[in-house]
Amino acid sequence: MSEIIKDYDHLAIESKWQKYWLDNKTFKVEKDETKPKFYALDMFPYPSGSGLHVGHPEGYTASDIICRYKRQKGFNVLHPMGWDAFGLPAEQYAMKTGVHPSITTEKNVDNFRRQIQELGFSYDWDREINTTDEKYYKWTQWIFLQLYKKGLAKIDNVDVNWCPTTRTVLANEEVNNGMDEKGNAVERKPMKQWVFKITEYAEQLLEGLDDLDWPEGIKEMQRNWIGKSIGAEVDFVLDGHSDKIRVYTTRPDTLFGATYMVLAPEHDLVSQITTADKKAEIEAYVTKARNMSEQDRSENKEKTGVHTGAYAINPVNGEKLPIWISDYVLSSYGTGAIMSVPAHDDRDFEFAQAFDLPITCIISPNIKEAKYEGVDVEAALAGKACWTGNGELINSSNQDGLDLNGLEVKDSKRKATDWLVSKGLGEEKTNYRLRDWIFSRQRYWGEPFPIVHMEDGSIKTLENELPVRLPEMENIHPSATGESPLANATKWLDYTCPETGMKGRRETNTMPQWAGSCWYYLRYIDAGNSEAAFDPEIEKYWMPVDLYIGGAEHAVLHLLYARFWHKVLFDLGIVSVKEPFQKLFNQGMILAVSYKNKAGFWVGTDLVVDENGDAVPSNMELDSTKKYFHKDTGEELEQMAGKMSKSLSNVVNPDDIVKEFGADSLRLYEMFMGALADSKLWITSSINGINKFLTRCHKLVVDKNGELNSSISDDAELSEDSRRTLHATIKKVGEDIESFGFNTAISQMMIFINEFSKLKAIPKSAIEDFVTILSPFAPHLAEELWEKLGHTETIAYVQWPEYKEEFLKLSEVEILVQVLGKPVKRMKVAADADAKQLEEIALADDDVKSRIEGKTVRKIIAVPGRLVNIVAT
């Protein structure tokens, strides 16, 4: 590369080396059994029309630093990128503008690719994938068929979360407080859907978490979502009816404390047992409950319900229990019916209080525990307070051989279950909160199902006709009734079996966006394969993913779904490992400040650093009453720091930052803002400090004429202190990369530059070592400096320098000598001097002698490497 760049011209340097990397396929990688492999994965983005904002590159930068470091440590590194490009936003934009989603998606992908390449990430672009490419979704369809053949995919008539605004079905995980992620109201309605029986893998999904190097919080979220519980199913005879109500409970030992029962509003028996005087009230309540999502019902704090007028018989004591319905009981969990023990369950206690139902205590609270929890024991025993802790059972025996009195909870649960089983009144049961996965969507922009519904009622799979291509359509609006737009693709819709001539109709639903992201990490390993989803031998080499970096918001969506697909593929012998992602790291969010005026409109701004070093808004001012006002309009504003969003007018475009400061400055700033896992506040003007640091790095190596600085030579030698700084920097930066401590690694490199900038002569080898460790963080500048140092090959594969422990040791240290706690002087001593030697050195010093002359030394406190304090009176 003959181009001469004199100053730190970041635009020229960065465009030069980005072109070099692309032209030379610098980061192209193949299977290589002679090297240890390292597979680093970024959660691939959805290519929206707004492009990247500065929050997106945070995780990408972290993974890129690690990948570049691993290459220099001799690893064969797979670092790919692609696009999660199917989905509702593109379809909605197309309906709004009349532009086909394939056109907008291609345009958005091109923009995202440009932005990402301009940030210098070391991706192997030969492995780029796009979930909307038929060469990709052919294999998404193929994997679906493998799950179908294993009996894990079925068509079922189920209650779904239906969004009338977008006219599509949403998974339970996609609904929050009755709204989708855009704030559209969601209602419940029955529809025929494709469903994955993920519940059959509940236990495997739980067990697999134990051996994963994931944040404990993420693993706990998955455990809670799967929600395993061990208990018993118990039969309650209906008073005056031949039917029984079967209840699932994790606490069969509390049967003696049951005072009422609650059914889910959708329970099959509700309409049969409701008395005539309660019918209208029950029907109104059922209608209201059906329009709430399961998650909203679970989290609803307000206790509502209606008495059916019916009663059930408690199997342990023969008491009649009133039967209610309430929306906090879900038909999809357990049996859709519960026995309520209000004395020992917070939710039941609140319900009983709301409707003045009896409360019977059957667990005598542990005195110490109750005192710690602040619960009045007498109130709990009288049924006036809820006790959910430990204690001995009371009031819990009958004439039929069941006596739980005096037992602790762990023992009483076992005894109660055994008694129920022996009497034919119940059975031991394990339940899961996890529900089967609704897998179909009533929209156009998604993967078509490789399924045909034949005229004889059978289902034909199209494994030999893949890919089933998405048809070109002008009208992609879904119907108000919930049918997919594909129902209007009449030419595509009609199917004739080539073997039998039988007619059929193609499946009109499409797959959810999660389909493409469930397995994309596997396609990366063999992206160009047209004969299979991937080569098994290549999969064995690269899998599992060694490091997966992305946001914590995917804890119970993508990560759970991908693990499910992968475990099925493992059971089918298609992949070689049980878990796809061995290590997971969640980066923190980059926050931005926004301001809202009294009219409710968000006013964009940016933070700058004032003369006091404080972050202040660039176009706001803070008055003496601590209120914010717009400098131009004078209107009072409300301040908020939060997620970057176009609707909040607080998005910072990385293109602007790259143009003004450079990609290397952006990369370093995002890593220097704070610990990677923490949320950080974006302050554009703070990038100046990082930019100055990189300018100093350039200036240390390159003179004003664009040549290698004359202070750098092969003959120069380092002082002991400078050599220590070099080796300390090599050691710390390497260790910090391994532990994701990128901010402290950058701080150490700044220390290096501060010290080495003062030297008049620097060994070329020392600067080469520094540029090598700088290269994962600021790769463009490092490549430029490496070339200035006389090298013709890329720095990307240059071996990471080794530090020597002996060069980190100090030969001398400075200690403080005190007499009666008052400083006398500082002295240089041997670093390995022990306490006895320090005493002798201090007592032999003339200044110390003069201070203690005529006094008696009572005591000497010597701390090696720090101080000597002489007590003399």
- Binding-site residues for ATP, in ranges, read 646
The annotated binding site is made up of 646
**DSSP tally for the chain: helices H, then strands E:** 28, 37
The candidate with the shortest Cα–Cα distance to 396, out of 275, 233, 290, 258, is: 258
Q: For residue 482, what is the DSSP state?
A: S
Q: Helix, strand or coil for residue 741?
A: coil
Q: Which residues contact 770 (CB under 8 A, 6 or more apart)?
A: 726, 729, 749, 752, 756
Q: What does the alpha-carbon distance between residue 295 and residue 713 come to, in Å, rounded to a whole number?
A: 68
CB-CB contact of 445 with 90 (8 Å): yes
Q: For residue 447, what is the DSSP state?
A: P
The candidate with the shortest Cα–Cα distance to 64, out of 147, 14, 124, 121, is: 121
In the block, residue with structure tokens 């008395």: 275
Q: What does the alpha-carbon distance between residue 73 and residue 801 come to, in Å, rounded to a whole number?
A: 9
DSSP string, 759-820: -S-EEHHHHHHHHHHHTTTSHHHHHHHHHHTT--S-GGGSPPPPP-GGGGS-SEEEEEEEET
Q: For the stretch 254-290, what's the b/e string if a residue is b when 16 or more beta carbons lie within 10 angstroms of its beta carbon?
A: bbbbbbbbbbbbbbebbeebbeeebeeebeebbeebe
Query: What tokens were used for 804?
Result: 């020597």
DSSP string, 555-597: TTTHHHHHHHHHHHHHHTTSSS-S-SBSBEEEPPPEEEEEEEE
Q: What does the alpha-carbon distance between residue 4 and residue 16 come to, in Å, rounded to a whole number?
A: 11
Q: What does the alpha-carbon distance between residue 200 and residue 434 come to, in Å, rounded to a whole number?
A: 10
Phi, psi of 595 (to 5 degrees): -135, 140
Q: What does the alpha-carbon distance between residue 322 and residue 75 come to, in Å, rounded to a whole number?
A: 68
CA 246, 247, 252, 254: dihedral to nearest 10 degrees?
-120
Q: What does the alpha-carbon distance between residue 198 and residue 174 come to, in Å, rounded to a whole number?
A: 17
Q: Which residues contact 291 (CB under 8 A, 6 or more apart)?
A: 187, 188
Phi, psi of 725 (to 5 degrees): -60, -45
Give bridge partners of residue 311 from the DSSP assignment: 322
Q: What does the alpha-carbon distance between residue 6 and residue 707 come to, in Å, rounded to a whole number?
A: 8
